[in-house]
């Protein structure tokens, strides 16, 4: 049986990506081979790889992997990424970093006589907080005078989502997740106030393209074919357009700062120094014993325990939180300390599902797991009280994410929980440590537990695999 390409790799006639026995292979078809050879010979690809801007690609024999089928003529092997994430999971800072990276790669390519055939945000991934370009076959020879054909896609998948938060303070994540190709320019244009349109940048990249698109759609609906000569752009103008966009995006920030409820939680979580040290020792002991290659940190906040996990022997940490301000701080921590830590947006009650074509193109959170280990510190009670989820179901969901982990139980009498219940009726009769312990024992073995605060916060180390090592 011939290998099957990855579900996200069916669109490109230039080649497909395969996962064969854990190895990531990319085929190159006859139509893409000349451009691929030109890019290799230009030295561009080697320069980008040496800087860490582009994922490496080592040539292999297609027949060695059963990929010797027409029209495949060549194949390369890529290193496996620690974790695949999507633009709708990126906080503002990561989407901005990805946009700038895409522009930097494109500008470097133009200097080598190469351009990019598209501008998909899905062509960027992250290793820790650092963006890396992953689509080798997007590179092709530049043709004198050609226009940037990826402009609309870049705007809809990078610029428009960033502007949504920069202008209106609305995070892009839910909209992008519901519209996987990004935010259409006409939709964003409808939100603009008159003063936004005084900016020539807004006119050039949002307002006028939206009007032109509406005109073209109207003509097509009337059965007409929009005519006109194909657009041409001299190379200096092409470069200038990319550089102008880069300057604009580099200056964008969320309106009013990133929205945050729990941004200062690390300082205000109610632990004294001794209690914090006790919790830190417990987590460090767990990670040191397990030494997971991949750890997921649920409710990572600003990343203090993700950093601790890396110091204690974790290979990579992916953190998840719903608080945009906390994630902004987590990203700064990862960047400044060069941590193998990727902070992502997650609504624990509504995690990313399998979606896209055939409900397989963009795998959901569960499909990209399980992780080797999970931390759920001060997390479960937020789902139980904030989202009315049964505690036993929350525990079972967390345990399904990784065979080993640490879950923190927080008593109803805890000050944080009391604040959460201040303005609502307490209908959580089944919430309690006995319920928690019974639920955890039903799906895993409790290796160790310890009360770490005077308010009764207790850490549980579980092992779903049946051993503690």
Assigned architecture for domain 265-463: 3-Layer(aba) Sandwich (3.40)
pLDDT at 389: 95
Structure tokens at 62: 């297609």
pLDDT at 454: 94
The confidence band for 215, taking pLDDT boundaries of 50, 70 and 90, is confident
Structure tokens at 272: 């004294």
Q: Is the pLDDT of residue 229 over 60?
A: no
d(CA 349, CA 29): 43
Angle at 135 (CA atoms; ends 233, 8), nearest 5 degrees = 120
Cβ neighbours, 10 Å, residue 36: 22
Calculate mean pLDDT across residues 142-152. 94
Dihedral, CA atoms, 285, 286, 291, 296, nearest 10 degrees?
Answer: -130
The confidence band for 225, taking pLDDT boundaries of 50, 70 and 90, is low
pLDDT 10s digits, 88-129: 999 999 999 999 999 999 999 999 999 999 999 999 999 999
Q: Angle at which helices 304-311 and 273-290 pack, to 10 degrees?
A: 50
Query: In this predicted structure, which of 36-40, 203-207, 243-247 has the lowest mean pLDDT?
Result: 203-207
pLDDT at 214: 78
pLDDT 10s digits, 404-426: 999 999 999 999 999 988 888 88
Q: Which residue has the higher pLDDT, 211 or 258?
A: 211
3-state secondary structure the chain: CCCCCCHHHCCCCCCCEEEECCEEEEEEECCCHHHHHHHHHHCHHHHHHHHCCECCCEEECHHHHCCCCCCEEEEEEECCCCCCCCHHHCCHHHHHHHHHHHHHHHHHHHHCCEEECCCCHHHEEEECCEEEECCHHHEEECCCCECCCCHHHHHHHHHHHHHHHHHHCCCCHHHHHHCCCCCCHHHHHHHCCCCHHHCHHHHHHHHHHHHHHHHHHHHHHCCCCCCCCCCECCHHHHHHHHHHHHHHHHCCCCCCCCCCCCCCHHHHCCCCHHHHHHHHHHHHHHHHHHCCCEEEEECCCCCHHHHHHHHCCCCEEEEEECCHHHHHHHHHHHHHCCCCEEEEECCCCCCCCCECHHHCCECCCHHHCCCCEEEECCCHHHHHHHCCCCHHHHHHHHHHHCCEEEEEECCCCCHHHHHHCCCCCCCCCCCCHHHHHHHHHHHCEEEEEEECCCCCCEEEEEECCCCCC
pLDDT at 468: 45
Cβ neighbours, 10 Å, residue 155: 24
Pairing label, strands 294-298, 316-321: parallel
pLDDT at 107: 98
Distance, C-alpha 302 to centroid of its chain: 16
Query: In this predicted structure, which of 82-86, 139-143, 260-264, 392-396 has the lowest mean pLDDT?
Result: 260-264
Q: Are 372 and 292 in contact (CB under 8 A)?
A: yes
pLDDT 10s digits, 292-345: 999 999 999 999 999 999 999 999 999 999 999 999 999 999 999 999 999 999
Q: Which of 414, 418, 450, 170 is nearest to 286 (CA)?
A: 450
262 vs 51, 90, 145, CA distance in Å? 36, 18, 51
pLDDT at 2: 79
Q: Are 42 and 113 in contact (CB under 8 A)?
A: yes
d(CA 27, CA 151): 27
Q: What percent of the chain has pLDDT over 70?
A: 94
Q: Is the pLDDT of residue 352 over 80?
A: yes
Q: Which residue has the higher pLDDT, 217 or 13?
A: 13
Burial 121-145 (b: 16+ CB within 10 A, else e): bbbbbbbbbbbbbbbbbbbbebeee
pLDDT at 424: 84
Domain spans of the chain, in order of start = 7-78, 87-250, 265-463
Name the pTM for this structure: 0.94
Mean pLDDT: which of 5-9, 203-207, 329-333 is highest? 329-333
Mean pLDDT in the chain? 93
Which residues have C-beta within 8 Å of that of residue 182, sequence separation ≥ 6?
87, 121, 153, 156, 157, 158, 160, 161, 176
The confidence band for 469, taking pLDDT boundaries of 50, 70 and 90, is very low
pLDDT 10s digits, 161-197: 999 999 999 999 999 999 999 999 999 999 999 899 8
pLDDT at 232: 84
């Amino acid at each position: 049986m011939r290998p099957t390409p990855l579900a996200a790799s069916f669109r490109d006639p230039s080649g497909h990506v395969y996962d064969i026995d854990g190895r990531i292979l990319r085929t190159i078809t006859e139509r893409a081979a000349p451009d691929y050879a030109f890019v290799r010979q230009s030295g561009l690809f080697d320069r980008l790889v040496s800087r860490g801007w582009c994922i490496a690609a080592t040539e292999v024999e297609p027949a060695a992997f059963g990929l010797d089928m027409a029209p495949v003529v060549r194949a390369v092997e890529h290193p496996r990424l620690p974790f695949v994430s999507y633009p709708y999971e990126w906080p503002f800072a990561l989407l901005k970093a990805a946009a700038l990276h895409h522009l930097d790669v494109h500008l470097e390519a133009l200097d080598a006589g190469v351009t990019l055939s598209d501008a998909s945000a899905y062509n960027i991934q992250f290793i820790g907080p650092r963006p890396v370009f992953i689509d080798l076959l997007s590179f092709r020879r530049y043709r004198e005078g050609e226009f940037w054909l990826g402009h609309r896609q870049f705007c809809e998948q990078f610029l428009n989502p960033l502007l949504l938060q920069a202008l209106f303070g609305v995070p892009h994540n839910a909209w992008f997740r519901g519209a996987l190709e990004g935010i259409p320019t006409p939709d964003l244009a409808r939100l603009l106030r008159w003063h936004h349109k005084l900016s020539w940048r807004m006119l050039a990249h949002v307002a006028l393209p939206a009007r032109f698109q509406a005109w073209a759609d109207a003509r097509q609906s009337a059965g007409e074919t929009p005519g006109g000569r194909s657009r041409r752009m001299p190379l200096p103008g092409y470069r200038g357009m990319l550089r102008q966009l880069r300057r604009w995006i580099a200056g964008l920030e969320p309106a009013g700062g990133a929205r945050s409820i729990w941004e200062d939680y690390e300082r205000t979580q109610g632990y004294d120094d001794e209690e914090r040290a006790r919790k830190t020792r417990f987590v460090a002991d767990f990670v040191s014993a397990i030494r997971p290659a991949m750890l997921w940190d649920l409710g990572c906040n600003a990343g203090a325990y993700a950093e601790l996990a890396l110091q204690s022997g974790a290979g990579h940490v992916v953190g998840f939180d719903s608080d945009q301000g906390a994630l902004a701080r987590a990203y700064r921590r990862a960047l400044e300390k060069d941590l193998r830590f990727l902070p992502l947006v997650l609504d624990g009650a509504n995690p990313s599902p399998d979606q896209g074509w055939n409900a397989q193109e963009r795998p959901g959170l569960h499909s990209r797991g399980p992780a080797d280990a999970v931390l759920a510190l001060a997390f479960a009670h937020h789902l139980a009280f904030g989202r009315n989820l049964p505690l036993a179901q929350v525990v079972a969901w967390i345990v399904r994410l990784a065979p080993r982990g640490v879950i923190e139980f927080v008593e109803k009498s805890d000050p944080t929980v009391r604040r959460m219940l201040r303005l609502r009726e307490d209908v959580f009769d089944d919430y309690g440590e006995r319920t928690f312990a019974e639920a955890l024992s039903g799906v895993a073995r409790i290796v160790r537990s310890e009360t770490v605060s005077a308010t009764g916060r207790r850490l549980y180390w579980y092992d779903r695999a049946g051993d503690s090592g």
